[in-house]
Structure 1
Amino acid sequence: MHALLTLAAALLMPALLAPPPALADGPRALTVEQWRRDLRVLADTLVAVHRDAFHRLSRAAFERQVAALDRRIPRLSDHEVIVGLAEIAAAIGDGHTRLTLPEDPAVAFSRAHTPTPLPKRRELLFHHLPLRLYLYGDGLFVQQATAVAREALGARVVRIGTMSAEEALEAMRPLIERDNEMGFKLLAPARLAIPEVLHARGVVADPSSVRVVLRGRDGREFALDLAPLEPFAPATWIDARDSAAAVPLWLRDPGRTFWVEYLPRDRAVYAQVNRIADDSLETLAQFSRRLARVVDGHAVERVILDLRLNAGGDNALGRGLVLALARSRKADRPGRLYAIVGRGTFSAAMTLASQLEQWTHTVFVGEPTGSSPSAFGDPRKVRLPHSGLTVRISTVYWRGWTTAEDRPWIAPQLPAEPSSEDYRLGRDPALEAALAFPARDGLAGVLRETLRRGDIESAAIALDCFHNDPASADESTEQLVNRLARELLQQDRAAEAATVFWLNAHDYPRSAAAHAGRGEALERAGETRQALESYRRALALDPGNADLARKVEALERRGEGLRE
Structure 2
Amino acid sequence: MNIKLCCLLLIGLFFISFLNAITEVVADVPDLNIFQEDFDYFQKTLRESHPDIYTNLPEPAFNHQVNLILKELATETDTLHFLAKLKQFSHLLGDGHTGPFYYKEETLFYPIIVCWFEEGWYISYISKEFAEYVGSKIVSINGKEADEFMSILMTLCKGENIYWFRETVSDVLRYSSNLKLLDLAAEDKALHLVVEKGEEKKELILKEVERCNYINVPFKGITQYQNVPYWGKALPSDDIYYLQFNKFRDTTSDNPEEEFYNWKSFLIQSFNCIDSLKINNLVIDLRNNSGGNSKMGDILLSFCKLPDSLATFTCDVCISELMLKNYNKELEEVKKMLEEDLNREIEDFTMPYVIKQVDEGIRWITTEGYINQQIGTLGQNLIMPPLFEGRIILLTGYGTFSSAVMFATICQDNGLATLYGTPTGGKPSCYGDILSLALPNTGILCGVSYKYFRRPDYTRDPSDSLYPDVWIKINPEDYFSGKDTVWGKVREDIQNKAVPEPREL
TM norm structure 1: 0.64
State the Cα distance separating 1:127 from its structure 2 match. 3.7
Report whether the alignment pairs 1:63 with 2:63.
yes
Aligned equivalents of 1:463 and 1:378: distance in 2? 29
Contact 1:160 1:212 in 2 (8 A): yes
Partner of 1:239: 216
Larger proportion of strand = 2
State the Cα distance separating 1:77 from its structure 2 match. 5.9
Contact 1:199 1:207 in 2 (8 A): no
Partner of 1:141: 122
| Uncovered stretches (5+) of structure 2, i.e. residues with no partner | 1-30, 255-260, 307-384
State the Cα distance separating 1:314 from its structure 2 match. 0.8
Of 178, 182, 190, the match for 2:171: 190
Partner of 1:319: 298
In the TM superposition, what are the counterparts of 1:98-177 in structure 2 within 5 Å?
A: 98-103=99-104, 122=105, 125=106, 127-177=108-158
Aligned equivalents of 1:101 and 1:359: distance in 2? 35
Report whether the alignment pairs 1:302 with 2:281.
yes
Aligned equivalents of 1:198 and 1:326: distance in 2? 51
Partner of 2:224: 251
Partner of 1:84: 85
Once the two structures are superposed, residues 38-68 of structure 1 have per-residue CA deviations (whole angstroms, 9 ceiling, x without a partner) of 1111211221222221111112211211211
Which structure 1 residue ranges, 4+ long, deviate > 4 Å from structure 2?
74-77, 327-333, 438-442
Of 230, 233, 239, the match for 1:261: 233
Partner of 1:46: 46
State the Cα distance separating 1:338 from its structure 2 match. 0.7
Partner of 2:19: none
Contact 1:266 1:435 in 2 (8 A): yes
State the Cα distance separating 1:411 from its structure 2 match. 1.2
Q: Partner amino acid for 1:172? A: L
In the TM superposition, what are the counterparts of 1:329-344 in structure 2 within 5 Å?
A: 332-333=389-390, 336-344=391-399
Partner of 1:224: 204
Contact 2:285 2:396 in 1 (8 A): yes
Q: Partner amino acid for 2:209? A: L
Of 275, 279, 287, the match for 2:247: 275
Aligned equivalents of 2:422 and 2:428: distance in 1? 15
Aligned partner of residue 34 in structure 2, secondary structure: helix
Once the two structures are superposed, residues 253-308 of structure 1 have per-residue CA deviations (whole angstroms, 9 ceiling, x without a partner) of 1x211111011331211111111122225532333332221221114242211111
- Cα pair distance change 1:155/1:188, threshold 3 Å: same
Contact 2:179 2:185 in 1 (8 A): yes
In the TM superposition, what are the counterparts of 1:348-387 in structure 2 within 5 Å?
A: 348-387=403-442
Report whether the alignment pairs 1:446 with 2:500.
yes
Report whether the alignment pairs 1:413 with 2:475.
no
State the Cα distance separating 1:431 from its structure 2 match. 0.8
Contact 2:36 2:74 in 1 (8 A): no
Q: Partner amino acid for 2:244? A: Q
- Cα pair distance change 1:177/1:279, threshold 3 Å: same
Aligned equivalents of 1:150 and 1:158: distance in 2? 18
Contact 1:168 1:192 in 2 (8 A): no
Aligned partner of residue 324 in structure 1, secondary structure: coil
Aligned equivalents of 2:466 and 2:175: distance in 1? 31
- Cα pair distance change 1:226/1:164, threshold 3 Å: same
- Cα pair distance change 1:434/1:409, threshold 3 Å: same
Q: Partner amino acid for 2:84? A: V
State the Cα distance separating 1:208 from its structure 2 match. 2.0
Partner of 1:548: none
- Cα pair distance change 1:62/1:413, threshold 3 Å: same
Larger proportion of helix = 1
Aligned partner of residue 178 in structure 2, secondary structure: helix
Contact 1:90 1:97 in 2 (8 A): no
Contact 2:234 2:242 in 1 (8 A): yes
Once the two structures are superposed, residues 481-503 of structure 1 have per-residue CA deviations (whole angstroms, 9 ceiling, x without a partner) of xxxxxxxxxxxxxxxxxxxxxxx
Specify the structure having the higher radius of gyration (Cα): 1
By relative contact order (CA 8 Å, sep 6+), the higher-ranking structure is 2
Aligned equivalents of 1:342 and 1:423: distance in 2? 14
- Cα pair distance change 1:377/1:37, threshold 3 Å: same
Partner of 1:462: 503
Aligned partner of residue 355 in structure 1, secondary structure: helix
Aligned partner of residue 422 in structure 1, secondary structure: helix
Structure 1 stretch displaced more, 290-299 or 362-371 = 290-299
Partner of 1:550: none
Structure 1 stretch displaced more, 292-301 or 35-44 = 292-301
Contact 1:32 1:73 in 2 (8 A): no
- Cα pair distance change 1:130/1:364, threshold 3 Å: same
State the Cα distance separating 1:330 from its structure 2 match. 8.8
- Cα pair distance change 1:355/1:37, threshold 3 Å: same
Aligned equivalents of 2:161 and 2:184: distance in 1? 24
Contact 2:91 2:158 in 1 (8 A): yes
Aligned equivalents of 1:36 and 1:463: distance in 2? 51
- Cα pair distance change 1:268/1:438, threshold 3 Å: closer
Contact 1:377 1:394 in 2 (8 A): yes
Aligned partner of residue 394 in structure 1, secondary structure: strand
TM norm structure 2: 0.71
- Cα pair distance change 1:211/1:388, threshold 3 Å: same
Contact 1:365 1:412 in 2 (8 A): yes
Of 189, 200, 212, the match for 2:181: 200
- Cα pair distance change 1:189/1:405, threshold 3 Å: same
Of 481, 493, 499, the match for 1:425: 481
% identical equivalent positions: 21
Contact 2:113 2:123 in 1 (8 A): yes
Contact 1:176 1:187 in 2 (8 A): yes
- Cα pair distance change 1:172/1:311, threshold 3 Å: same
Structure 1 stretch displaced more, 81-90 or 277-286 = 277-286
Aligned equivalents of 1:147 and 1:141: distance in 2? 16
Once the two structures are superposed, residues 476-524 of structure 1 have per-residue CA deviations (whole angstroms, 9 ceiling, x without a partner) of xxxxxxxxxxxxxxxxxxxxxxxxxxxxxxxxxxxxxxxxxxxxxxxxx
In the TM superposition, what are the counterparts of 1:402-551 in structure 2 within 5 Å?
A: 402-403=457-458, 404-438=460-494, 441=497, 446=500, 462-464=503-505
